[in-house]
């Protein structure tokens, strides 16, 4: 009897954990590459403090810089 109850509970938990469909069908490419840079300590600390004041992350701002730099310097594909 106890085993039957355990089996039922396993079945119930599996059926309630179905994956939810994604709201956005267009997936962004994953950020899976790293870039290691060296800064002097004062610049790094000031940058991190400014990011915190502006409620953003250092990684987000570096990614934004890279995307803007590419747009600015990449020739248009006309």
**Which tokens go with 28?**
């962004």
pLDDT along the chain (78 residues), means of 10: 53 55 73 94 98 98 96 80
Per-domain boundaries in the chain: 37-73
Kindly report the pTM of this predicted structure. Answer: 0.59
Q: What is the SS3 assignment for 8-76?
A: HHHHHHHHHCCCCCCCCCCCCCCCCCCCCCCCCHHHHHHHHHHHHHCCCCHHHHHHHHHHHHHHHHCCC
**pLDDT attached to residue 25:** 73
């Amino acid at each position: 009897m106890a085993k039957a109850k355990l089996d039922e509970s396993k079945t119930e938990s599996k059926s309630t954990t179905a994956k939810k469909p994604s709201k956005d069908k267009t997936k962004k490419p994953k950020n899976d590459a790293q870039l290691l840079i060296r800064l002097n300590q004062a610049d790094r600390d000031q940058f991190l403090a400014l990011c915190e004041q502006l409620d953003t992350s250092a990684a987000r701002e570096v990614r934004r810089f890279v995307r803007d730099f590419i747009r600015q310097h990449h020739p248009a594909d006309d």
